[in-house]
């Protein structure tokens, strides 16, 4: 995209870009820290795989129930307001997740945390699209790369902290305080976009949005399976240490971060359909490797390849959802996110239940089959025209 902004406005746009990138970064740090400590929280709350799966379901339920409302709020009041508010909420709730002591307390805290996390996810993605249209050029894949860098950093740090024997609560208190502090700064640093969004309305995913939502469901279910279950798979299935189990999550997130840095350029070179289709196939190869060779080091490599393949799926689908003609970006993203995060809704209990009845390796074979479907269906679903980006001048 060629910038239409005057030189005087460009420094302000760089600030707006940095602000939305900071939101993605801290959101990723919190997620990575949580994902890497799931085995510790499982031990702390004395849950088996089935119980853990249904506890993880609570976060997805909270997110899915509120994403359509979050899209409306972003269109009505501006994502530059909704994003910092939900970031403050996530930062305040994360220590409560770390303090959970049994099934009921973990379900309750994860449900409320999911509400804040899901609404923040919608609003920060919509704000990123607003920054694109303001003249920053294609940045969605890089923003998601920033999220993955945050997730990688959070997971890697958590793995090291876990190896040192530090409890979950103090670590989550530090991460939560950092989120809250950055959230305060974002109130004045993010791009005001409520005029660009025009208010919006609640919208169920139908037609093209439904197709994009189905692909997002598979992509986010696969991401969630790697983030939520890779550590458990290594720890309980392959007998790895807690530190090595956390390293599987970090490798997955790090691989996604590296691949997403090239995602915007690859979208131009390959097109959206081929990029997502090929990525689904590569992710299937990686997961297949992790399941076929029951050696911790090989499994970690496999989850890394899976991260490379999944890297472009979500940012590409969100960009397509937020670029549908006649639909505000936050509303389109919310509609597709609702279906996408339904993957997180159904994934944990299904995987946990199958793992409890048979094995976690067997449960992850279901994810492998869904990745094959993604590889076959993505190219056709991403060929329709979308709304061209229109520059928005920062007031």
Q: What is the pLDDT of residues 47-102, one digit of tens each?
A: 887 788 788 888 878 887 887 777 778 778 888 999 999 999 999 999 999 898 99
Q: What is the mean pLDDT of the chain?
A: 82
Mean pLDDT over 130-145 rounds to: 81
Residue that wins the pLDDT comparison between 299 and 342: 299
- Residues 170-179 have pLDDT tens digits of 999 999 999 9
Asked if residues 318 and 333 have their Cβ atoms less than 8 Å apart, the reply is yes
Question: Is a pLDDT exceeding 60 seen at residue 212?
Answer: yes
122, 166, 177, 158: which is closest to 32 by C-alpha? 158
- Residues 334-367 have pLDDT tens digits of 788 778 877 766 776 788 788 888 788 888 998 9
What is the CATH superfamily name and number for domain 13-191+206-381? MFS general substrate transporter like domains (1.20.1250.20)
For residue 384, the model assigns a pLDDT of 54
Q: Which of 31-35, 149-153, 212-216, 322-326 has the lowest mean pLDDT?
A: 322-326
Residue that wins the pLDDT comparison between 303 and 77: 303
For residue 84, the model assigns a pLDDT of 93
- As a whole number of angstroms, the distance between CA 333 and CA 346 comes to 20
pLDDT band at 201 (very low <50, low <70, confident <90, very high): low
Mean pLDDT over 226-247 rounds to: 83
Backbone angles phi, psi at 295, to 5 degrees: -120, 130
With vertex at residue 29, the alpha carbon angle to CA 140 and CA 16, rounded to the nearest 5 degrees, is 40
- As a whole number of angstroms, the distance between CA 74 and CA 121 comes to 11
Q: Compute how many other C-beta atoms are within 10 angstroms of the C-beta atom of residue 268.
A: 10
Report pTM: 0.72
- As a whole number of angstroms, the distance between CA 39 and CA 55 comes to 13
- Report the Cα–Cα distance between both ends of the chain, in Å, rounded: 21
For residue 43, the model assigns a pLDDT of 87
Mean pLDDT over 133-142 rounds to: 79
Q: Where are the alpha helices (DSSP H) in the chain?
A: 10-36, 38-45, 49-77, 79-98, 103-131, 140-163, 168-189, 194-197, 207-232, 242-261, 263-270, 272-292, 296-310, 313-321, 329-357, 360-381
Residue that wins the pLDDT comparison between 123 and 8: 123
- As a whole number of angstroms, the distance between CA 204 and CA 200 comes to 13
Mark 50-83 as b/e (b = at least 16 C-beta within 10 Å).
Answer: bbbbbbbbbbbbbbbbbbbebbbbbbbebbbbbb
- As a whole number of angstroms, the distance between CA 273 and CA 283 comes to 15
Question: Is a pLDDT exceeding 60 seen at residue 196?
Answer: no
- As a whole number of angstroms, the distance between CA 146 and CA 357 comes to 38
Residue boundaries of the structural domains of the chain: 13-191+206-381
For the chain, give the percent of residues with pLDDT over 70.
Answer: 89
Asked if residues 375 and 284 have their Cβ atoms less than 8 Å apart, the reply is yes
For residue 284, the model assigns a pLDDT of 95
Residue that wins the pLDDT comparison between 198 and 267: 267
- Residues 253-271 have pLDDT tens digits of 788 888 888 888 888 788 8
168, 171, 167, 54: which is closest to 108 by C-alpha? 54
For the chain, give the percent of residues with pLDDT over 90.
Answer: 25
Q: For the chain, state the CA radius of gyration.
A: 19
With vertex at residue 163, the alpha carbon angle to CA 367 and CA 111, rounded to the nearest 5 degrees, is 50
Looking at mean pLDDT, say which of 28-42, 201-215, 272-286, 319-333 comes out highest.
Answer: 272-286
- As a whole number of angstroms, the distance between CA 8 and CA 95 comes to 42
- As a whole number of angstroms, the distance between CA 234 and CA 252 comes to 13
């Amino acid at each position: 995209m060629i910038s239409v902004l005057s030189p005087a406005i460009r420094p302000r746009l760089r600030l707006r870009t940095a602000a939305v990138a900071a939101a993605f970064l801290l959101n990723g740090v919190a997620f990575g820290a949580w994902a890497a400590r799931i085995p510790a929280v499982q031990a702390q709350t004395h849950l088996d795989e089935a119980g853990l799966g249904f506890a993880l379901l609570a976060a997805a339920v909270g997110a899915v129930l509120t994403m359509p409302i979050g899209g409306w709020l972003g269109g009505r009041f501006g994502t530059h307001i909704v994003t910092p508010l939900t970031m403050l909420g996530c930062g305040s709730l994360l220590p409560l997740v770390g303090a959970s002591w049994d099934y009921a307390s973990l379900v309750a805290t994860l449900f409320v945390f999911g509400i804040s996390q899901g609404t923040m996810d919608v609003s920060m993605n919509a704000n990123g699209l607003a920054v694109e249209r303001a003249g920053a050029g294609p940045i969605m894949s890089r923003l998601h790369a920033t999220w993955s860098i945050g997730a990688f950093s959070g997971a890697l740090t958590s793995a090291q902290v876990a190896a040192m024997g530090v409890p979950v609560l103090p670590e989550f208190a530090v991460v939560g305080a950092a989120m809250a502090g950055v959230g305060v700064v974002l109130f004045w640093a993010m791009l005001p976009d409520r005029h660009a969004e025009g208010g919006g309305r609640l919208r169920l995913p139908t037609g093209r949005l439904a197709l994009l939502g189905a692909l997002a469901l598979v992509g986010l279910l696969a991401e969630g399976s790697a983030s939520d279950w890779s550590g458990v798979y290594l720890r309980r299935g392959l007998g790895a240490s807690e530190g090595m189990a956390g390293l599987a999550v970090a490798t997955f997130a790090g691989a996604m971060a590296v691949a997403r840095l090239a995602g915007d350029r690859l979208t131009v070179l390959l097109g959206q359909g081929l990029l997502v289709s090929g990525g689904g196939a590569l992710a299937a190869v990686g997961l297949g490797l992790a399941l076929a060779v029951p050696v911790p080091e090989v499994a970690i490599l496999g989850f890394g390849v899976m991260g490379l393949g999944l890297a472009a799926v979500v940012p590409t689908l969100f960009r397509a959802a937020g670029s549908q003609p006649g639909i505000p970006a936050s509303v389109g993203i919310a509609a597709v996110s609702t279906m996408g995060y339904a993957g997180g809704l159904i994934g944990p209990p299904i995987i946990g239940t199958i793992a409890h009845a048979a094995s976690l390796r067997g449960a992850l074979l279901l994810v492998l089959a869904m990745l094959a479907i993604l590889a076959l269906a993505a190219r056709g679903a991403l060929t329709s025209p979308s709304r061209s980006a229109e520059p928005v001048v920062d007031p």
